[in-house]
Amino acid sequence: MKSGERELLEAFAAGEARALARAISWVENARPGFERLLSAVHDRVGRAHRIGITGPPGAGKSTLIHALAGAVRRNGERVGVVAVDPTSPFTGGALLGDRIRMTGAAGDDGVFIRSMASRGSLGGLATTTREVADLMDAFGFERVVVETVGVGQSELEIAEAADTTVVVLTPESGDSVQAMKAGLMEIADIFVVNKADRPEASRAAAELKTILRIREGRAFERIPAHHGIDLTELARRRASKAAAAKDAVDIGAAGPAGWEIPVLLTTAQEGKGVAELLNALDGHQRWLKETSELTRRRRQRLLERVRAVVERGLRTRVWDEMSGEAILEAARPELESGSRTPYDVANEILNSLRTDGARGR
């Protein structure tokens, strides 16, 4: 380990917020040694309650997280927030300083908010976001909240990596239908209908409850995927929950220790319903622990992480460290004239990985 890394780790272990910010940048930019850093803090990961907050653009996720962070702070807990910036796909070049923000009362280092550019992440956005959440967890925050817009595969992956996933909708007509299409029904542990100050909020919540009931009832069927999102695993997860669901008569599934997905109403702007949300979050965390679902989810995530890091490593080796780009460049004329196929060239690149590897890189 290099001396810079050791220094950073010491400051990190001492709880210096600046060290956390630096560690996050290190990981986000995949600077040399970032995986050593993550490895070094790994034994401190796993204490935080990881909360994913997702939903359509403008649903009030950030406002809600702000209010939630306040409530968490009043309980004496500290909270880290990772916001995956959806609205500006070209913020990859934004100054890092702009993307670090400490909020809360003056001098309150119990809330740490970090936003991430949603494009251009070297090792894949989902993995990097999880690693940033790991850092916050290892740093000692009791709650780590990840905000993502609920559209697209990688956003779903991010939300799925939480212990507890909250899907935030609004009373707008069609929100729940959209959520269903986007695969949000399968990942939600808690539903929130925000903007409850608007008319139709109760109606929207009731509608959502009806949809949930219908879906729970046929949770064992394959649910057709939209937008190329693979719902198989999600459906399996939902099915295991349904199998354990408490209210057998109500949703047509049996089992003792189930989690009934609550549908809550909030007015994030006014902080209304936030205490109830925190309650539901605590309830879900308890349920996770009591049913050893937490252990199951975390075990699965460990395997996923190994696979993701291997894939990232391979990508880096082929394209950055080895001759992948050079071979591709050399093959370009033949590729363009049609005398070689993409598969042929790809094979050459893959074979070079083998020979380079054999040379003991």
Ligand X SMILES: Nc1nc2c(ncn2[C@@H]2O[C@H](COP(=O)(O)OP(=O)(O)OP(=O)(O)O)[C@@H](O)[C@H]2O)c(=O)[nH]1
Q: Site residues (CB under 6 A) for ligand X?
A: 57-63, 86-87, 149, 194-195, 197-198, 267-269
In Å, the largest CA–CA distance within the chain is 69
Instruction: Please give the full DSSP string across 224-238, using - where no structure is assigned.
Output: PPSTT---HHHHHHH
In the region spanning residues 179 to 208, those forming contacts with Mg ion, defined by CB under 5 A, are none
62 touches Mg ion (CB under 5 A): yes
* Burial degree of 43 (CB within 10 A; 0-12, 13-18, 19+): exposed
Q: Residue 118 CB, nearest distance to Mg ion (Å)?
A: 12
* DSSP for residue 32: T
Helices (H) and strands (E) in the chain, counts: 15, 8
Q: Residue 65 CB, nearest distance to Mg ion (Å)?
A: 8
Q: Residue 286 CB, nearest distance to ligand X (Å)?
A: 27
Residue (38 or 65) nearer to ligand X, CB = 65
Among Mg ion, ligand X, none, residue 3 binds (CB under 5-8 Å by kind): none
Q: Residue 194 CB, nearest distance to Mg ion (Å)?
A: 12
**Binding region for Mg ion (CB under 5 A) out of 61-69, 161-169, 212-220, 241-249:** 61-69
From residue 311, alpha-carbon distances to 160, 273, 307, 355 in Å are 19, 42, 6, 19
Q: Residue 55 CB, nearest distance to Mg ion (Å)?
A: 9
Between CA 223 and CA 3 the distance in angstroms is 52
Q: Residue 142 CB, nearest distance to ligand X (Å)?
A: 22
Q: How are beta strands 49-55 and 164-169 bridged, if at all?
A: parallel
Among ligand X, Mg ion, none, residue 195 binds (CB under 5-8 Å by kind): ligand X
Cβ 32 vs Cβ 145: under 8 Å: no
Beta bridge partners of 117: 85
Residue (161 or 193) nearer to ligand X, CB = 193
Residue (22 or 61) nearer to Mg ion, CB = 61
Smallest Cα–Cα separation from 233: which of 156, 155, 292, 152?
156
Smallest Cα–Cα separation from 56: which of 167, 196, 144?
167
Residue (55 or 262) nearer to Mg ion, CB = 55
Q: Residue 269 CB, nearest distance to ligand X (Å)?
A: 4
Residue (79 or 268) nearer to ligand X, CB = 268
Question: What phi and psi, each to the nearest 5 degrees, are found at residue 95?
Answer: -60, 135
Other CB atoms within 10 A of residue 280 CB: 21
Among ligand X, Mg ion, none, residue 269 binds (CB under 5-8 Å by kind): ligand X
Residue (171 or 258) nearer to ligand X, CB = 171
Binding track over 3-42 against Mg ion, x by CB under 5 A:
----------------------------------------
For the chain, first and last CA: distance in Å? 20
Q: Residue 182 CB, nearest distance to ligand X (Å)?
A: 13
Among ligand X, Mg ion, none, residue 114 binds (CB under 5-8 Å by kind): none
Residue nearest to Mg ion (CB): 62
The angle formed by the CA atoms of residues 224, 228 and 234, to the nearest 5 degrees, is 55
Residue (51 or 223) nearer to Mg ion, CB = 51
Binding site for Mg ion (CB under 5 A): 61-62
